[in-house]
Amino acid sequence: MKLLNVEVVLNREKGIQGVESESDVLRELDDEITSYAILLHRWGAEVGYEEMTGLMKMEEGKRDEVRQRYGYQKIIKSCEQVTKDDHKWLWIDTCCIDKRSSSELSEAITPCIGGIKTHRCAMRTSMMSASPSSLPSKITASLTSLMQVEFFNEDWVSIGNKRRLAPALEDITRIPRDVLTGGLAAKRLSVAQIMSWAAHRKTTRVEDRAYSLMGLFGVNMPMLYGEGRKAFRRLQLEIIQELSDHSIFAWRPWIPRAGSVLAEDPSDFSGCGDVENVEPDDFADRLIKDYIEPVA
């Protein structure tokens, strides 16, 4: 994957000579062996891949306009923070992905699964007072897969890490506290429970409601923008092939409907936060204890 070379970006901004090639700004590296930081943020007036790599080739007026954007200043502040944390590489979704490449888009949909990545920064304190529906969909995968997560306010002052802020994050995201602090392996979770965390997340494109969940379930599938809600159905079929978990059929739509046994949208799982995945023997024991013995 392509990562920002933090030193090169900052040197270019300071006008230091030596940045001869725009390819120096972004470097293709093996994310399985490279330690790097990731920025989690809300989108605004951002700087894209072509603008970031072609900045010095622009006319002066256009270059100044890009550098004055809030998104560009966010990149610079991120690089400065990463330098303080002794990291050399940084990944930001807005400028590290060449969106003309379908392979890069596919690779970037789950950038934080693996454990080699070391840091993710949430930039605004507004994320700590947000409603579940206003949070970026990618925050669910980020909070459950990355062990080191630090939050910063708009002035880049740290307001705490994921462990210290776990109670507030649990209220906002509805992800259990022990999962936030210990990861997905910390607790035995059902597919329906995990789906419930994404029930109220919003995305710009409806397909991303499905694509952003692939990493949580360890599945992959082609991203076909334009397929609409079919993306979520495809996701469920991929999960069924990988996991023997019947809770995927435990969804509860707000409005009863006939048709497929598959849910149409993550919101169908909004009431499934307490659905447990029970082994057959345990199910039989509970059935006898809770329903058969009392009658007898």
Longest distance between any two alpha carbons in the chain, whole Å: 85
What's the half-sphere exposure (Cβ side, CA atoms, 13 Å) at 152? 19
**Mean pLDDT computed over every residue of the chain:** 81
**Residues forming beta bridges with residue 121, ordered by sequence position:** 39, 150
Q: Which residues in 84-223 belong to E strands, given as ranges?
A: 89-91, 119-122, 150-152, 158-161
Cα–Cα distance for residue pair 10/255, rounded to 1 Å:
53
Please give the backbone phi and psi of residue 17, each rounded to the nearest 5 degrees, phi first.
-70, 155
Q: What is the pLDDT of residue 135?
A: 54
Tokens in use for 56? 């010095």
Please give the backbone phi and psi of residue 60, each rounded to the nearest 5 degrees, phi first.
-55, -40
Q: What is the pLDDT of residue 116?
A: 33
The secondary structure element, H or E, covering residue 38 is strand 37-40
Q: What is the pLDDT of residues 86-101, one digit of tens each?
A: 889 999 888 988 877 7
Which stretches of 119-228 are DSSP H helices? 138-145, 166-173, 177-182, 191-197, 208-211, 214-217
Q: What is the pLDDT of residue 23?
A: 59
Cα–Cα distance for residue pair 213/209, rounded to 1 Å:
7
Q: What is the pLDDT of residue 12?
A: 87
Please give the backbone phi and psi of residue 122, each rounded to the nearest 5 degrees, phi first.
-100, 125
Please give the backbone phi and psi of residue 293, each rounded to the nearest 5 degrees, phi first.
-60, -45
What pTM did the predictor assign? 0.75
Contact assessment for residue 11 and residue 18, using Cβ atoms and an 8 Å cutoff: yes
Cα–Cα distance for residue pair 14/26, rounded to 1 Å:
17
In the sheet where 119-122 sits, what is the strand order? 26-28, 2-5, 89-91, 37-40, 119-122, 150-152, 158-161
Cα 102 from chain centroid? 19
Cα–Cα distance for residue pair 219/234, rounded to 1 Å:
11
Q: What is the pLDDT of residue 93?
A: 86
Q: What is the pLDDT of residues 214-227, one digit of tens each?
A: 888 989 888 888 99
More confident residue, 143 or 236: 236
**Residues forming beta bridges with residue 39, ordered by sequence position:** 121
Q: Is the pLDDT of residue 81 over 60?
A: yes
Q: What is the pLDDT of residues 166-198, one digit of tens each?
A: 898 888 888 888 888 888 776 788 999 999 998
| Measured CA distances, 44 to 71, 85, 260 (Å) | 7, 25, 38
Q: How confident is the model at residue 108 (pLDDT cuts 50, 70, 90)?
A: low
Q: What is the pLDDT of residue 296?
A: 63
Cα–Cα distance for residue pair 286/282, rounded to 1 Å:
6
Q: Is the pLDDT of residue 105 over 70?
A: no
Q: Is the pLDDT of residue 157 over 80?
A: yes
Q: What is the pLDDT of residue 252?
A: 86
The secondary structure element, H or E, covering residue 3 is strand 2-5
Tokens in use for 197? 């965390």
Percent of the chain having pLDDT more than 70?
83
Q: Is the pLDDT of residue 58 over 80?
A: yes
